[in-house]
Amino acid sequence: MTGRDAVVAAEGLARTFGRGAAAVVAVHDVSCSVLPGQRVALVGPSGSGKSTLVHLLAGLDEPTAGHVSWPALDGHPRDLRPGAVAVVFQGPSLLPALDAAENVALPLLLAGHDERSASRSADHALEALGLSEVARLLPEELSGGQAQRVAVARALVAEPRLLLADEPTGQLDRRAGAVVLDALVAAAATTAAALVVTTHDAAVAAHFDERWAMEDGRLVTGEAACSR
């Protein structure tokens, strides 16, 4: 495969927040590509730029310099079907007015699925993550770990082609974290989706054959796919 086959590709990517003496460089001169079916653990300490890079690769933020493209997707994520590029955020992301199943079904409804099939798919996604019993609970009634797993189910239900997860096991115990990792990898394998998971947990990173490391906003390892 070549760069033309990449689900997402970045060249000379940089993101700076603020200006002047108060400016913070979160990502600096990152070039990388992620191919269909590729599984990447993006490791590094808090503040190393992992989350910012994920937001850039998802098209949720605009770079200060450089360029991001999605060659295999034929367009920017905002122009694709809902759920084609899915992100599991580190913080709370569920809509408070919707119950767990409704949150999970939302990408399918936005993509034009009928309510019955979307609800059925949402229930299956929740069941896969051991969450059937919370399907009708509102986000405020969920624990932090349950809410995170519901967010994972929502990301998986639309069968994304690019799946980006930012510290998806950070609020979970080892057992629940293993369930989430297994679900992410299995879902990506089913659709040949590219999967990038950020983590500072060596045990999580060990589940991935490919590991990239970030330090002070730069990719410092993973030269087979990325350049400094």
DSSP-derived secondary structure for 35-53? -TT-EEEEE--TTSSHHHH
Residue of 59, 34, 1 lying closest to 212 (CA atoms): 34
Q: What percent of the chain has pLDDT over 70?
A: 95
Helix-helix angle 144-157:100-110, to 10 degrees: 20
How much is the average pLDDT of 150-158?
91
Centre a 10 Å sphere on the Cβ of residue 90 and count the other Cβ atoms it contains.
18
How much is the average pLDDT of 74-103?
90
Per-residue confidence band for 162, with pLDDT thresholds at 50, 70 and 90: very high
Q: Residue 76 has what pLDDT?
A: 92
Strand partners, 31: 227
What CA–CA distance (Å, rounded) separates 106 from 165?
Answer: 18
Per-residue confidence band for 100, with pLDDT thresholds at 50, 70 and 90: very high
Phi, psi of 108 (to 5 degrees): -70, -40
CB 94 within 8 A of CB 139: yes
Within a 13 Å sphere around the CA of 124, how many CA atoms are in the beta-carbon half? Answer: 11
Q: What is the pLDDT of residues 185-212, one digit of tens each?
A: 888 888 888 999 999 888 888 888 899 9
Q: Residue 168 has what pLDDT?
A: 87
What is Dmax (Cα atoms) for the chain? 54
Per-residue confidence band for 222, with pLDDT thresholds at 50, 70 and 90: low
Amino acid identity of residue 177, one-letter, is G
What CA–CA distance (Å, rounded) separates 65 from 42?
Answer: 21
CB 25 within 8 A of CB 16: yes
Per-residue confidence band for 3, with pLDDT thresholds at 50, 70 and 90: low
Q: What is the pLDDT of residues 41-57, one digit of tens each?
A: 999 888 899 999 999 99
Residue of 224, 85, 65 lying closest to 161 (CA atoms): 85
Per-residue confidence band for 20, with pLDDT thresholds at 50, 70 and 90: confident
Say which residue, 115 or 171, is predicted with more confidence: 115
Is residue 2 scored above 60 in pLDDT? no
Q: Residue 4 has what pLDDT?
A: 65
The dotted CATH code for 36-61+74-218 is 3.40.50.300
Q: Residue 190 has what pLDDT?
A: 83
Element spanning 188, H or E: helix 174-191
